[in-house]
Amino acid sequence: MKKSIKLAGWILGLCFTSLAYSHTMWLNVTDYHPEFYPEYGARTKVYFGWGHHYPVDDFLRQEQLKDFYFICPRCGKHHKLSPNPGGFLATEVNFKEPGAYIVTAVLKPGFYTMYIEKGEMHHKMGPKTGLKGVILSLYYEQYTKALINVGTEDTSAYDKAIGHKIEIVPLKNPLELSEGDFLPIQVLFDGRPASFCKVYATYSGFSTREDFAYATSTDGEGIAMIRLLHYGPWLIKADMKLPAPEDMRDKCNELHCTATLTFEVH
């Protein structure tokens, strides 16, 4: 009986742990299409989504971020952003020129391991090296992008990769599409098309749970079509889970790489 209770506890713990350590990062934007004024420029606010419930769920800590910047569409220069501490790290972004901007963030990568020792379950934010009774061990990376059109419908900056390990590249400007249209995207992994990658999409207001409004997979060229079922802010998520390469098998069993993309449909 006691063994059954312990086993049930381990299973329950595994479920909760999977939820806790499969948090997803994305970017929310207060205005995806800010008006541009020649004298003042334009501005919007960007704040972080973290967890499972779009558009907001849990709080992401500032020290969990590796990079946070926006890309100028004219010169391609990266402009570093400093997240405003507290809350959802809501940060004002100012633009001096019109164009199609990408705001992006990268989570600090890391290892997570769960193992059983002396009948107890343990969690380690680190590799499995030297441990026995390993239940789960993974290396994770997460990347996110938000598309912001400043005073124009320019598409020149959106259909180019910016070099993330895993990346969602829109092949059309979502702001030029309407409810009911299809948005073609390409998922890249290590700069190459991610064939048969799982892709999920949802819009703000669809659900207060973990449900997605749309699910599909990329084809052999890494391309998927997302039907824009509703106007308003959207989130697209691409997930890659791979066995650990030979040079990392002493540290983890699996690689988990995630990319998200947010934008608005008029």
Q: Kindly indicate the confidence band of residue 19, based on its pLDDT and cuts at 50, 70 and 90.
A: very low
Q: What letters, b where the CB count within 10 A reaches 16 and e where it falls short, cover 95-123?
A: bebbbbbbbbbbbeeebbbbbeeeeebee
* Confidence check: pLDDT of 13 > 60: no
* CA–CA dist 161, 5 (Å, integer): 50
CA–CA dist 239, 199 (Å, integer): 7
State the pLDDT confidence band at 21, using cuts at 50, 70 and 90: low
Residue ranges of E strands in 81-165: 91-95, 99-107, 110-117, 120-124, 134-150
Strand ranges, E, within 19-62: 24-29, 42-51
pLDDT of residue 202: 96
pLDDT (0 to 100) of residue 86: 80
Tokens (6 digits) for 129: 């090296």
Instruction: Count CB atoms within 10 A of the CB of residue 43.
Output: 16
**CA 255 to CA 98: how far, in whole Å?**
39
Q: Where are the domains of the chain?
A: 5-113+119-265
**C-alpha of 173 from chain center:** 19
Res 232: pLDDT: 93
The pLDDT value recorded for residue 16 is 40
Given this model, what pLDDT does residue 154 score? 63
Mean pLDDT of all residues in 256-260:
97
Separation between Cα atoms, residue 127 and residue 139, nearest integer Å: 8
The mean per-residue pLDDT over the stretch 186-198 comes to 96
The pLDDT assigned to 11 comes to 43
pLDDT at 174: 87
Q: What is the pLDDT of residue 84?
A: 92
- Measure the CA–CA gap between 95 and 111, rounded to whole angstroms: 36
pLDDT band at residue 153 using 50, 70 and 90 as cut-offs: low
pLDDT at 15 > cutoff 70: no
- pLDDT given at position 87: 82
Taking residues 11-29, report their average pLDDT: 64
pLDDT at 1: 46
Average pLDDT over residues 170-193: 93
pLDDT interval class at 160 (50, 70, 90): confident
| Burial grade of 12 (CB within 10 A; 0-12, 13-18, 19 or more) | exposed
With a cut of 50, say whether residue 20 has pLDDT above it: no
Is pLDDT larger for residue 262 or for residue 14?
262
The overall average pLDDT reported for the chain is 89
- Predicted confidence (pLDDT) per residue in 28-47, tens digit: 999 999 999 999 999 999 99
CA atoms 162, 101, 226, 105: torsion sign: positive
Residue-wise pLDDT for 100-146, tens only, equals 999 999 999 999 999 999 889 998 989 999 999 999 999 999 999 99
